Amino acid sequence: MVKDAKEVVRRFNEEVIAGGDRATFEALMAPGFVNRSAPPGATNGPEGMWNTFDTVLRPALAGLKVVIHDQVAEGDKVTTRKTISGIHVAALLGVEATGKAVNIDVIDIVRVEDGRYVEHWGVNTLSSVLASLRHD
């Protein structure tokens, strides 16, 4: 069970975040999914999660990739330490393209039930990355 949950999270990172595969996203998201770390004012359901990658990160970061450094699973939760990276080629949350390499460090916890994402909690360095891009 633990290995299966880790595989679900690995697939999500590789196929959905990096690959933009909507069919895999639909297959891996429970209809009642809740993103407990959604930004204020953003929807915390599946579409909010999709939009984070499809309309915010992927258009702004060419060659977007995800490197998973560590995964730890216990019960129905998987904790992942990863880096999302790419080249800043379009506006990213109000910061115009700089052409610079961007590395966003992330630690997230996903609760997996029946092979699907049910809940997500996470912290990341996006705000410090944006501040750095604004001041370079």
Q: What is the pLDDT along the chain (136 residues), one digit of tens a residue?
A: 556 999 999 999 999 999 999 999 999 999 999 999 998 888 999 999 999 999 999 999 999 999 999 999 999 999 999 999 999 999 999 999 999 999 999 999 999 999 999 999 999 999 999 999 998 6
Instruction: Identify the CATH assignment for 2-135 out of 3.30.565.10, 3.90.1150.10, 3.10.450.50, 1.25.40.340.
Output: 3.10.450.50
The whole-model pTM stands at 0.93
- For residues 112 and 9, the answer to whether their CB atoms sit within 8 Å is yes
DSSP secondary structure letters along 72-99: EEETTEEEEEEEEEEEE-S-BTTBPP--
DSSP secondary structure letters along 116-130: EEEEEEEEESHHHHH
